[in-house]
Structure 1
Amino acid sequence: MIIERSSNWREDFIQRFEQDGPWDSWTLYNKSYEIEKMNLIPEFSGLQAPKFLTNIQLLPHQVEAAQTVIEKMNGKAILADEVGLGKTIEAGLIMKEYMIRGIVKKVLILVPASLQNQWVTELNMRFFIPAVAYRKNTPIEHYDVVVMSMDTAKKSPHREKIYEQDYDMIIIDEAHKLKNHKTQIYEFVQSLKKKFCLLLTATPIQNDIFEIFYLVSLLKPGHLGNYESFQATFSTTKTSADGEKYLKELVNQVMVRNRRQDTGIEWTSRKVETIPIQYTPEEREVYDMISSLKTVSPVFSSSFTMVTLLKEMCSSKEATFLTLNKMIQKGMAKEERDFVEEILAKLMKLEINSKAEKVMEIIENANDKVIIFTEYRATQAYLQWYLYTKGISSVLFNGKFSKSKRDWVKQLFRQRDQVLIATESGGEGINLQFCHHVINYDLPWNPMKLEQRIGRVHRLGQEEDVHIYNLAIENTIEQKILDLLGSKIDVFEKVVGDLDDILTRKA
């Protein structure tokens, strides 16, 4: 075979040159020039993405956060804005910017299962990023942007499939759920290769100072030293004012946190009220009997069991009854069983729930939409029945609802019912700016759960002052919870920054 260089191109070139085209169409040239100019991006300052995002109105603090992460933090950061300021928007903007620059193509986004579809919709509709929700048999190797439930991702065979991929960016929403190095999801995320990584959480410290250590260590191992040196230097019992300031400076090198008051947006106020409640003598008798169980039976010697029962008794007799009855079914000595059955008998004779009566009073005074947060499904069902007997319409919300049912419940609350009764899962993924009253019927141990609950209503789009009612029965475990919540808030503010009001401030 003989291969010869063709010379035909010369004739074609001369013909086009003499006839002025068609390659030099001025319109075509200009378009080509603009594309090349855009792709060149002469310097890595300023954002290119906003001018292409026609379906979203970006707020100044969101643009500034994205720019800070890209230009100063090398794409590894904790996005810790207060609830409702748009951390998802900031993450989408950062991702889009890196994609436009040709630096990021393949992205894995880990979220709570309830937020999976919400993320996919936001990325597709607002950022024009073709994200897909991972299902059981999704071939993730064929998709560039995958949104996956945390619980799914950490388990086989999904975990192994992810390890086979080469992702440019990892994004984790509600990153406080990673907790520490002992959890399965933390170990999984730690094992992922992370060229760029964003951790989204309004509450980087939930219970103790070591939670921020583990989050920062995912992004920049060694930035806060190893565990032993961190403990020795920054333990809450040892840290001086200078130490707290130094730790805050270190954390701020990898964390962006916007507060409502810093956004330039005019926000409505929070009106927080802690309401003490007095037990009836009959309720107090049952509470004291439950408290004495630890001296009667080794079955109740576990502090966790006792704390659970005391908290349930502060919630409803229904929640308490279910737990005690289950414990009887598991078996116990006759003397112990007799005492528990005596408690159950007194429990079921109670005709008044003092806390529920206070809820009714608040609802009547509000004369408006109200959301109630409880920690127990039994209490949730009881409250719905109790309100029904008083002529108040309500709808239930819990974490087992599908996305369509969640949307339906939200619509019922908006258009028909006066009260939404939610378990803890109602603190995530449902936005209720049309509601202005929040009753914390049961207090959590974690102050950040209170912030997440309140953030369902006190967020962008809220036009009224938000009224928050924290209920606590005097001389019970709830009084101890209030004191502990105050201590944990103090730790959070020393390391992360000021927190909007969630409890009544002490003078």
Structure 2
Amino acid sequence: MIIEKSSEWADGLTKRLEGIEPWDNWTFYNMSYHIAQNNLITEFTGLQSPKYLTNLKPLEHQLKVAETVIERMNGKAILADEVGLGKTIEAGLILKEYLVRGLVKKALILAPASLINQWVEELHYKFYIPAVAYKKNTPLEHCEVVVLSMDTAKKSPHRELIFAQDYDMIIIDEAHKLKNHKTKIYEFVQSLKKKFCLLLTATPVQNDVFELFNLISLLKPGHLGNYETFQSAFSASKHDLEHDDYLKELVNQVMVRNRRQDTGIEWTNRQVNIIPIQFTAEEKEVYELILDLKNISPVFSGAFSMITLQKEMCSSKEATFLTLNKMRQNCTSLEENNSVEYVMQKLMALDINSKAEKALEIVSKAQDKVIIFTEYKASQAYLQWFLHTKGITSVLFNGKFNKNKRDYMKHLFKEHAQVLIATESGGEGINLQFCHHVINYDLPWNPMKLEQRIGRVHRLGQEHDVHIYNLAIDNTIEIDILQLLYKKIDVFEKVVGDLDDILSAFKQTI
């Protein structure tokens, strides 16, 4: 192929300078004028971006969120819609609007590693935004919109490369991971320049009200005063506060929250129940023996150690055995070692798991897809074996799986298995609308983890009522967990707003 320089432009310029050809062309000028006129944004109110999004039909509440954040909150907001209402779509609309208006040139999106590809795909295909998934050698200076994981962003040399850029907008997905102001990721985000900033989380308060204070302080430092002022003004403790109406008003100045019932969409119902379980006499004996260990050995006197063992005993003997065996290695006397050995022998002699039996009963009655959430991998493995012995097919899902394996497990669950047994990682980043039964086999201390779990199935696209079964063993630590969960839910509703049922349709007397 021969490449030659063209002289047309030079010849044309010479002819115009000599008056042989005119300098302008009315037809071309008129076309250019109309193009410029069409691209003008004559007023700031209203959204311009939807007319450019042929692959997306935003819902009314999503458009309203975008307008509110841009027109009233100056592009700094917590997007706190309930799980499944499309916070990613809302963030995409806001980003697209600022790009169209020329107010944003470069944007940084931080998300959990498992959601990176999902963000990139949605921005490409729904919003025509050429986002790049960050990799080790990605030239940030040449990327207008980059998506990377929080864990990567906070580490050297990546953090230094990010600080060297001049980002106009920061978007943080699953922003509740920033609840602790002492973590590296919190300090990293705090150090970022934030002309516009969106924090996405359905659960801005998970355990206590100070988590919300930390999020808002990231977004608008000083909006709630400093820590001491906030604590004093609202008589705030972890699970209680005063002047909650005034606090809610301040929060609503920086937070947008839609509930399912506010969207105008007809949602299926949640059928939520607490299922009480009784230990067998043998299980109860072992539970009491574990409690007695704190009086036998200082190894078991720590509150955290004893709470862990009690929770594990309410889950499975397999999970309990692993912890007991590890702790036994720290026993310093023969008497202590023998006491632990005796408990372990009694533990492994158990031939019935009352909670697993109840889960089996629920699965058998459902005759449908069921998700079981447990907090322990040992319990996860046990449950799969137990269900297999009863002729029930299941697949596992946990945080150790990479994206391909996660997608494959989801496929197996949808097409072949009746049960998916998930650890806490299954509570984020996976959509399972084809399932409508959720068993919370182990209760977390954090009520928002329950909401995240339920949100995997009760979201846009769900066509059936969703059945939630919260299992709790009487006269054990699980009753204490229930009481604390209700307290935390009360704090959430005082500050953020009403919450869909996650424990039961009414507060039961425990």
Q: With the length of structure 1 as denominator, give the TM-score of the two structures.
A: 0.95
Q: Name the counterpart of 2:26.
A: 24
Tell me by how many angstroms 1:452 deviates: 0.1
Q: Provide the rounded CA distance (Å) in 2 between the counterparts of 1:142 and 1:334.
A: 66
Q: Deviations over 1:250-306 (max 9, x none)?
A: 000000000000000000000001000000000001101111111111111111111
Within-5 A mapping of 1:440-451: 440-451=440-451
Within-5 A mapping of 1:415-434: 415-434=415-434
Residue 202 (str. 1) matches residue 202 (str. 2): yes
Q: Provide the rounded CA distance (Å) in 2 between the counterparts of 1:209 and 1:426.
A: 25
Q: Provide the rounded CA distance (Å) in 2 between the counterparts of 1:277 and 1:90.
A: 42
Residue 9 (str. 1) matches residue 10 (str. 2): no
Q: Provide the rounded CA distance (Å) in 2 between the counterparts of 1:116 and 1:86.
A: 16
Aligned length: 493
Q: Provide the rounded CA distance (Å) in 2 between the counterparts of 1:235 and 1:343.
A: 45
Q: Name the counterpart of 1:506.
A: 507
Tell me by how many angstroms 1:135 deviates: 1.7
Contact 2:15 2:21 in 1 (8 A): no
Q: Deviations over 1:178-218 (max 9, x none)?
A: 11221111011000010100000000000001111111111
Within-5 A mapping of 1:281-296: 281-296=281-296
Residue 342 (str. 1) matches residue 342 (str. 2): yes
Structure 1 vs Structure 2: percent identity of aligned residues? Answer: 73
Q: Provide the rounded CA distance (Å) in 1 between the counterparts of 2:421 and 2:140.
A: 38
Q: Name the counterpart of 1:468.
A: 468
Partner SS for 1:332: coil
Q: Provide the rounded CA distance (Å) in 1 between the counterparts of 2:37 and 2:73.
A: 26
Tell me by how many angstroms 1:15 deviates: 3.7
Q: Provide the rounded CA distance (Å) in 2 between the counterparts of 1:302 and 1:138.
A: 47
- Judged with a 3 Å threshold, the aligned counterparts in structure 2 of structure 1 residues 216 and 34 are, in CA distance, closer, same or farther, namely farther
Partner SS for 1:25: helix
Q: 2:308 corresponds to which letter in structure 1?
A: T
Q: Name the counterpart of 2:144.
A: 144
Within-5 A mapping of 1:388-403: 388-403=388-403
Q: Provide the rounded CA distance (Å) in 2 between the counterparts of 1:145 and 1:468.
A: 39
Partner SS for 2:329: helix
Q: Provide the rounded CA distance (Å) in 1 between the counterparts of 2:328 and 2:33.
A: 79
Q: Name the counterpart of 2:9.
A: none
Residue 489 (str. 1) matches residue 496 (str. 2): no
Q: Provide the rounded CA distance (Å) in 1 between the counterparts of 2:148 and 2:260.
A: 30
Q: Provide the rounded CA distance (Å) in 1 between the counterparts of 2:77 and 2:404.
A: 33
Partner SS for 1:294: helix
Q: Provide the rounded CA distance (Å) in 2 between the counterparts of 1:506 and 1:136.
A: 50
Residue 247 (str. 1) matches residue 247 (str. 2): yes
- Judged with a 3 Å threshold, the aligned counterparts in structure 2 of structure 1 residues 330 and 35 are, in CA distance, closer, same or farther, namely farther
Q: Provide the rounded CA distance (Å) in 2 between the counterparts of 1:146 and 1:221.
A: 25
- Structure 1's unaligned 5+ residue stretches are 1-5
Tell me by how many angstroms 1:16 deviates: 3.5
Residue 96 (str. 1) matches residue 101 (str. 2): no
Q: Deviations over 1:111-160 (max 9, x none)?
A: 11111111111111111111111122222222111111101111111111
Q: Provide the rounded CA distance (Å) in 2 between the counterparts of 1:304 and 1:316.
A: 18
Partner SS for 2:458: coil
Contact 1:233 1:239 in 2 (8 A): no
Partner SS for 2:421: strand
Q: Deviations over 1:13-66 (max 9, x none)?
A: x7448xxx7x3337x734x33431243211111111101111112100001000
Partner SS for 2:182: coil
Q: 2:169 corresponds to which letter in structure 1?
A: M
Residue 121 (str. 1) matches residue 128 (str. 2): no
Residue 156 (str. 1) matches residue 156 (str. 2): yes
- Judged with a 3 Å threshold, the aligned counterparts in structure 2 of structure 1 residues 10 and 183 are, in CA distance, closer, same or farther, namely same
Q: Provide the rounded CA distance (Å) in 2 between the counterparts of 1:162 and 1:292.
A: 53
Q: With the length of structure 2 as denominator, give the TM-score of the two structures.
A: 0.94
Partner SS for 1:99: helix
Contact 1:370 1:435 in 2 (8 A): yes
Q: Provide the rounded CA distance (Å) in 2 between the counterparts of 1:114 and 1:195.
A: 27
- Structure 2's unaligned 5+ residue stretches are 1-12
Q: Name the counterpart of 1:351.
A: 351
Q: Provide the rounded CA distance (Å) in 1 between the counterparts of 2:62 and 2:332.
A: 58
Partner SS for 1:81: coil
Q: Provide the rounded CA distance (Å) in 1 between the counterparts of 2:269 and 2:195.
A: 40
Q: Provide the rounded CA distance (Å) in 1 between the counterparts of 2:412 and 2:14.
A: 76
Contact 1:236 1:491 in 2 (8 A): no
Of residues 432-441 and 295-304 in structure 1, the stretch that sits farther from structure 2 once superposed is: 295-304
Q: Provide the rounded CA distance (Å) in 1 between the counterparts of 2:155 and 2:331.
A: 35
Q: Provide the rounded CA distance (Å) in 2 between the counterparts of 1:85 and 1:7.
A: 62
Tell me by how many angstroms 1:10 deviates: 5.2
Contact 2:398 2:423 in 1 (8 A): yes
Q: Name the counterpart of 1:53.
A: 53
Q: 2:397 corresponds to which letter in structure 1?
A: F
Within-5 A mapping of 1:290-309: 290-309=290-309
Tell me by how many angstroms 1:331 deviates: 4.6
Computed over aligned residues only, the root mean square deviation of the Cα atoms, in angstroms, reads: 1.5
Q: Provide the rounded CA distance (Å) in 1 between the counterparts of 2:14 and 2:140.
A: 48
Q: Provide the rounded CA distance (Å) in 2 between the counterparts of 1:305 and 1:239.
A: 30
Residue 374 (str. 1) matches residue 374 (str. 2): yes
Contact 2:430 2:456 in 1 (8 A): yes
Q: 1:85 corresponds to which letter in structure 2?
A: L
Q: Provide the rounded CA distance (Å) in 2 between the counterparts of 1:394 and 1:163.
A: 46
Q: Deviations over 1:408-458 (max 9, x none)?
A: 111111110000000000000000000000000000000000000000000
Q: Provide the rounded CA distance (Å) in 2 between the counterparts of 1:432 and 1:150.
A: 25
Partner SS for 2:64: helix
Q: Provide the rounded CA distance (Å) in 2 between the counterparts of 1:354 and 1:388.
A: 17
Within-5 A mapping of 1:290-329: 290-329=290-329
Q: Name the counterpart of 2:171.
A: 171
Partner SS for 2:490: helix
Q: Provide the rounded CA distance (Å) in 1 between the counterparts of 2:35 and 2:458.
A: 43
Q: Provide the rounded CA distance (Å) in 1 between the counterparts of 2:137 and 2:469.
A: 46
Tell me by how many angstroms 1:102 deviates: 0.7
Q: 1:110 corresponds to which letter in structure 2?
A: L
Q: Provide the rounded CA distance (Å) in 1 between the counterparts of 2:331 and 2:144.
A: 54
- Judged with a 3 Å threshold, the aligned counterparts in structure 2 of structure 1 residues 8 and 308 are, in CA distance, closer, same or farther, namely same
Tell me by how many angstroms 1:327 deviates: 1.6
Q: 2:439 corresponds to which letter in structure 1?
A: I
Q: 1:490 corresponds to which letter in structure 2?
A: D
Tell me by how many angstroms 1:236 deviates: 4.1
Q: Provide the rounded CA distance (Å) in 2 between the counterparts of 1:164 and 1:273.
A: 52
Q: Name the counterpart of 1:3.
A: none
Q: Name the counterpart of 1:454.
A: 454
